[in-house]
């Protein structure tokens, strides 16, 4: 049965997936991220994620940290292009502690100015880390290349200059505008009854001050394939190539997830890994990625190699893409592609935190979230014709952009 989203009396949505595990997870997922920031404040959504834990009306930052860690729990958060998530992992008897703490942080964060200035230096170091890591930085720069001139292309961290300029009033204004009833979902995966959890959430979230409000995002509709080569202080060449793909509601999203996994997903037997690493020994890492956003998607292939083998690796990559566009999978190939992906999904469900974040994100768009059995049935129904049709829509390299980091010349 699909997991149903229930509503608290104030209209706030709650998704709960019961488990028998001794470890539980509870989070607040907000449908706002980097693309929703004011143009004059790049990095603001990520800055909110960092500083919301620095104090509330009744707790300082030290007490917030220790509220969960004193009982062996963990408190964390993350920011992406379209979402900001705050969540806790804990022993199941500590549900009341976790729910109360997250509600306190979410509704009563004070953002002390002294702590804001201190946290800016932390984010400067985070920016330094990415700038010193070409294999990490290239993903952000590739998104900026593909989504050039659009909010989707903004770097999640912002710049040192933009972070320096953020003030407390900017944070409060952003939260008031985007942290609305329509943009928030509470998500839970754990050992507690739904009725008990609803009562707990009503107690701590029911009277929270969340206004109604909708936000209109500007769709990305101006893609122009581009190629760029930059020099970086690195010992190898890093390459990202790819282009636009399906949005999160698209009916071909799941077939493409299967196709991407076959091409360059988690396994060592992916087509890219077998062609470039196992047969030729040209790269240590080669993988493909698919990120589905609310109104668009991004497909990409990453590898790092010796500079002199860069073009050879790209040829091998394009050869595998061409095969998937021209050669329909045989019955046995399709069977094992599905079997492998279904097994990987099942293993991924062992991480209940990943399940919480994945299901919670879907709940931002749907009143019901597919469970594992329903996802398996959907995957098993995919045909070879669907996959080759999907491959021809997405794997056309004439529509690809490519970003290359070559080592600096000696």
pLDDT score, position 92: 97
Q: Which two tokens stand for residue 200?
A: 């707990």
Same fold? 3-205, 227-407: yes
Token pair recorded at residue 188: 């839970």
28 in Cβ contact with 14 (< 8 Å): no
CATH superfamily of 3-205: Metalloenzyme, LuxS/M16 peptidase-like (3.30.830.10)
Domain extent listing, the chain: 3-205, 227-407
Distance CA 50, CA 157 (A): 11
DSSP secondary structure letters along 221-236: ------EEEEEES-SS
Q: Report angle CA 131, 134, 135 to the nearest 5 degrees.
A: 130
Quick check: pTM over 0.85? yes
What is the assigned CATH class of domain 227-407?
alpha beta
CA distance linking residue 139 with residue 185, whole number of Å: 28
Sign of the torsion formed by the C-alpha atoms of 375, 264, 404 and 398: negative
DSSP of 117-157: HHHHHHHHHHHHHHHT-HHHHHHHHHHHHHTTTSGGGS-TT
| pLDDT tens across the length of the chain (410 residues) | 678 899 999 999 999 999 999 999 999 999 999 999 999 999 999 999 999 999 999 999 999 999 999 999 999 999 999 999 999 999 999 999 999 999 999 999 999 999 999 999 999 999 999 999 999 999 999 999 999 999 999 999 999 999 999 999 999 999 999 999 999 999 999 999 999 999 999 999 998 778 888 778 999 988 999 999 999 988 999 999 999 999 999 999 999 999 999 999 988 999 999 999 999 999 999 999 999 999 999 999 999 999 999 999 999 999 999 999 999 999 999 999 999 999 998 888 788 999 999 999 999 988 888 888 888 999 999 999 999 999 999 999 999 999 999 998 76
CA pair distance 367, 227, nearest whole angstrom: 41
Paired tokens of 354: 């990943």
Q: What is the DSSP string of 355-388?
A: HHHHHHHHHTT-SEE--HHHHHHHHHT--HHHHH
Q: Which of 111, 205, 223 is nearest to 167 (CA)?
A: 111
**CA geometry: angle at 69 spanning 68 and 74, to 5°?**
70
Phi, psi of 73, deg, nearest 5: -90, 180
3-state secondary structure of 202: helix
d(CA 174, CA 307): 44
Query: Tokens 């505008």 identify what position?
Result: 177
CA distances in angstroms from 207 to 164, 173, 329, listed in the order given = 34, 21, 55
CA distance 78 to 32: 12
Q: Is 279 helix (H, G, I), strand (E, B) or coil?
A: coil
Tell me phi and psi for residue 173, to 5 degrees. Answer: -70, -40
Two tokens, residue 379: 């995957």
The answer to whether the beta carbons of residues 302 and 378 sit under 8 Å apart is no
**What does DSSP say about strands 84-91 and 23-30: parallel, antiparallel, or unpaired?**
antiparallel
Tell me how far apart the alpha carbons of residues 96 and 102 are, in angstroms, rounded to a whole number.
10
Residues 6+ apart with CB under 8 A from 367: 4, 5
Residue with tokens 């991924």: 348
Give the integer Cα–Cα distance in Å for 138 and 286: 14
Specify whether the backbone of 392 is left (phi greater than 0), alpha (psi in -120 to 50) or beta.
alpha
Distance CA 369, CA 341 (A): 19
Six token digits for residue 305: 């190699």
pLDDT at 1: 63
């Amino acid at each position: 049965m699909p997991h149903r989203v229930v509503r608290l009396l104030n209209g706030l949505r709650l998704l709960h997936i019961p488990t028998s595990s001794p470890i539980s997870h509870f989070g607040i997922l907000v449908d706002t991220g980097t693309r929703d920031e004011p143009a004059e404040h790049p990095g603001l959504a990520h800055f909110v994620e960092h500083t919301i834990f620095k104090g509330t009306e009744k707790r300082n930052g030290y007490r917030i940290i220790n509220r969960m860690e004193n009982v062996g729990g963990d408190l964390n958060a993350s920011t992406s292009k379209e979402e900001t998530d705050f969540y806790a992992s804990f022993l199941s008897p500590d549900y009341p502690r976790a729910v109360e703490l997250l509600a306190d942080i979410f509704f009563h964060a004070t953002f002390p100015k002294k702590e804001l200035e201190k946290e800016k230096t932390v984010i400067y170091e985070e920016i330094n880390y990415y700038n010193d890591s070409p294999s990490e930085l290239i993903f952000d720069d590739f998104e900026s290349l593909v989504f050039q001139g659009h909010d989707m292309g903004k770097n999640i961290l912002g710049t040192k200059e933009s972070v320096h300029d953020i003030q407390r009033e900017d944070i409060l204004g952003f939260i008031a505008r985007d942290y609305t009833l329509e943009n928030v979902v509470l998500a839970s995966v754990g050992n507690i009854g739904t009725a008990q959890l609803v009562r707990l959430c009503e107690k701590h979230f029911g009277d929270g001050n969340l206004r109604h409000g909708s936000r209109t995002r500007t769709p990305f509709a101006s893609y122009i394939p581009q190629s760029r080569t930059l020099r970086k202080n690195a010992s190898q060449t890093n390459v990202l190539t790819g282009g636009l793909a399906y949005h999160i509601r698209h009916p071909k999203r799941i077939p493409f997830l299967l196709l991407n996994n076959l091409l360059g997903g988690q396994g060592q037997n992916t087509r890219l890994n077998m062609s470039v690493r196992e047969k030729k020994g040209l790269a240590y890492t080669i993988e493909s990625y698919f990120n589905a956003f609310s109104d668009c998607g991004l497909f990409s292939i990453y590898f790092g190699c010796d500079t002199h083998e860069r073009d050879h690796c790209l040829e091998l990559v394009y050869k595998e893409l061409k095969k998937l566009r021209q050669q329909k999978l045989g019955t046995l190939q399709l069977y094992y592609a599905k079997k492998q992906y279904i097994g990987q999904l099942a293993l991924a469900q062992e991480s209940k935190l990943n399940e919480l974040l994945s299901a919670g994100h879907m709940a931002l768009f749907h009143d019901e979230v597919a469970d594992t059995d329903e996802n398996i049935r959907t995957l098993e129904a995919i045909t070879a014709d669907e996959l080759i049709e999907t491959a021809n829509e997405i794997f056309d390299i004439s529509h690809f952009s490519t970003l290359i980091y070559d080592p600096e010349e000696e």
